[in-house]
Structure formats: C-alpha cells, structure tokens
Structure 1
C-alpha cells in the first residue's frame, strides 16, 4: 500500500443472516487515494450503505481486509476501533445528530473533548476556525436547534473536521437538503479535498453530486459495476 493511499478494501464479503442468509457484499476491492472525493452510488438495496459501515469500522462482521492509513483494522477490538474512528474518521450523516440544547460551538467541540488530546482552549479555537471555514462563526453561541437545516448540516461538517480526521465519511450527507444547500455542502467538500487534502467517501443518491466528485463507484447487487 503506497503512502498516497488513504483506504484499501480487499475482497470484502458480507452476509446478512436475518430473515435468512443473504450475501449483501460480493468480493469488493478498491483503493481510495489521499485527497480524493469518492462517491458510492447504486439503487436502494445495492449494498452501498452497508459497504460504508464496513469501511467506517462500525460493522466488523465481514470477510476480507480493511486498511486505513496503512493500519490493518480487520480483527481489532471494538475499543481499538472506537479510538481509531474518533481520531481518524469524521462522520456526516443524512441527519445532523446535533445536540439541539447545546450551542453550535459546544457541538463542534464534543468529539475533540472526548479524544482529550488538546486543551479546552485549543479545541475551542479550532472549533471557531472550522465554523469560520463554513461561514458560521457568527452563529457559534446560538443553540444548535435554532439553526436552519442547511446550517445544521454545515455545523455537522465542522464537527466532523474537529479532530483533523484523515477521512470524512458521508451517508447521504445532502439527503435532507434542498438543491441550494446541497450545492453549498458539495462545494465545501470539494474545497476540503482541494485545499486541505481531505479524503471524502460519500454514499449518495444525488446524480449531480456523484458526477461532480472525483470518482464514482457504482454498486449493484453487492458488486462494483
């Protein structure tokens, strides 16, 4: 695996056992380069979200190997994986999962406070910088529940960036947004890969979003087309 590779999936096979045994991922292998913006597409039931959960280390019940930043993660304990995720992977879901009774700033700071590698002051300053990058610095002290849907999704991106993750994984990150806000989020992702070398892997149904990313992996019936 070269130093330019962010993630490597090798022969990933995944079965669901309920209601009966069913193979959902069939021998999936690919690499993602550092700074690449990759879209995973496919119809409902194609296996793309299942694949993202395997890649994100949240689903460990699979065959094959997963390597991120040169580190083999297959076979690690849940505690090791949780620690790895918090440090190396940022998540942006379809729903923002913000704590609405906390301020925007507090929401962004949370994963870094949990990682506990920097002082509160450093974390706060990084959180402000992230909010500024996303055009939300003036909203920092507002309760997160008072923001619009598009703003909340941008806060979720600022939070995903707080620990300087090597990869951001998005599960339908624009799924709940109108076309204007979808474009805003897409432009932010593009800027992050271009200017900060951020690697992004996003599952999407949005054809424009996928087409404008660096590369598309299209799944059908658990296989790469």
Structure 2
C-alpha cells in the first residue's frame, strides 16, 4: 500500500520586513508521510520555528503552497484555517499554556467543547481516555496549577489529542523538561505515531530527541541542509 502523504510544503519562501527586508525561509520543499515522526532542527535563527508556524497555518504571510490531508490551505480565510486547525492539528508548545484556575479535565476538554462536534458527555469520556493513556487519570479533578511541570506537559498533550488530530505539531515540546520527562514525552509521541498513525512534527534543540525520531530535517539560514 502506498504511504499516504500527510503534509507537503512546496516552494515556501518567507520574508521579514522589520527593520529591513530579510528572507527567513528560502525555497522550502518537503513532504511528511502519515504516521511519520519528524524532527525539525537547526540553530537559533535557522528558521525552524518560523517554518512550524507556517506548517500549522497560523502564519499565512508566505509565498509557496501548503497542503495538508490533500487540502490546499494556502489562500484560505482565517476562519477556514481556524476550523481546519481545530479539526486536524494538535499543538504542544514548550510552555503548556494550561488555564491554572481550571481542573486538568476541563483543560483537556476545552478544544473539543470549542469544536462542538460531540456532546459534553462524549468529550468528558474522551478526555478521561486521553488522561489514562498519559498516566494522569488520577489527577483529572486537580487544578492544573497543582501538577508538576512534567505532568502539566502531559496534560497539554492530552489536550492536543482531544479532537483526534491527524497531525501533532510541537514547538520545543520537551524544552522545559528534565531528561526523565523528556523521555516520557518522546515515548508518547512515538506511540501515537506507531499505534494511531498520527503524524508528529516537532521543532527541537534536543539532539537525542531528534536522533530517535523517524526523520530529521535540518535548517540553516532559512534553507533545508539535510533531510535524513
């Protein structure tokens, strides 16, 4: 069976205009297969986080074409892109961005309540399933602010999974974690790709994290210098 392509970036160029015109991404071309675990690496200023924000559809000010799940997203309206993101993309950032006054369960449920395609009872059940997958079901009713940093990052992953996205994008998802919790997060991503066929695209500075993913795309000065 032919591998299904989850995402294709074609001829992506990106400019910053302050303080003067500067090209930050130069002719970026690559595809990612469904169920692939891809790391984007490069030194600070290489353009990897800028690229991730274009891939995530949050930055639309670029030249070129972005296709996800056979849908061309370049040129779509902000409302269309927001709806697409909610349904197809899960996000895990370096900082977990949990709402401290909400319980763990409520934080996980939020994106699904916003999407509104399932009943609250169904969403709650799914949230519990995700927390169980991440070993956190016993923390569900705690305030998120009462959890450790590693636990909070796992809650953020549970939240990213709530709408069953086909692609999970991480921006330094282990950047604030110690080595033990970094390994836990890596293993979760590996499991999601292998068992659920979810595509993982993560920007990382962590060489071990990158080395153990399926493939590494390295950027330097806004250009892809390797796609191993």
CA distance in 2, matches of 1:194, 1:49: 25
- Give the equivalent residue in structure 2 for 1:201: 201
1:178-213 CA distances to partner (integer Å, 9 max, x unpaired)? 111000100100011111111000000000000000
- Give the equivalent residue in structure 1 for 2:167: 167
Check 1:3–1:77 CA distance in 2 against 1; reply closer, same or farther (3 A cut).
farther
- Give the equivalent residue in structure 2 for 1:73: 73
CA distance in 1, matches of 2:114, 2:187: 29
Instruction: Count the aligned residue pairs.
Output: 224
1:15-54 superposed matches below 5 A: 15-54=15-54
- Give the equivalent residue in structure 2 for 1:137: 137
1:7-156 superposed matches below 5 A: 7-156=7-156
CA distance in 2, matches of 1:79, 1:36: 28
List 4+ stretches of structure 1 deviating above 3 A.
Answer: none
CA distance in 2, matches of 1:44, 1:157: 25
In the alignment, structure 1 segments of 5+ residues that lack a partner are none
CA distance in 1, matches of 2:196, 2:77: 31
Q: What's the C-alpha RMSD, in Å, of the aligned pairs? A: 0.7
- Give the equivalent residue in structure 2 for 1:213: 213
Q: Secondary structure at the match of 2:101?
A: coil
| TM-score, scaled relative to structure 2 | 0.97
User: Does residue 1:224 correspond to 2:224, yes or no?
Assistant: yes
Q: Secondary structure at the match of 2:45?
A: coil
Q: Give the conservation status (yes or no) of the 8 Å contact 2:3–2:33.
A: no
User: How far apart are 1:3 and its partner, in Å?
Assistant: 6.8
| TM-score, scaled relative to structure 1 | 0.99
User: How far apart are 1:35 and its partner, in Å?
Assistant: 0.1
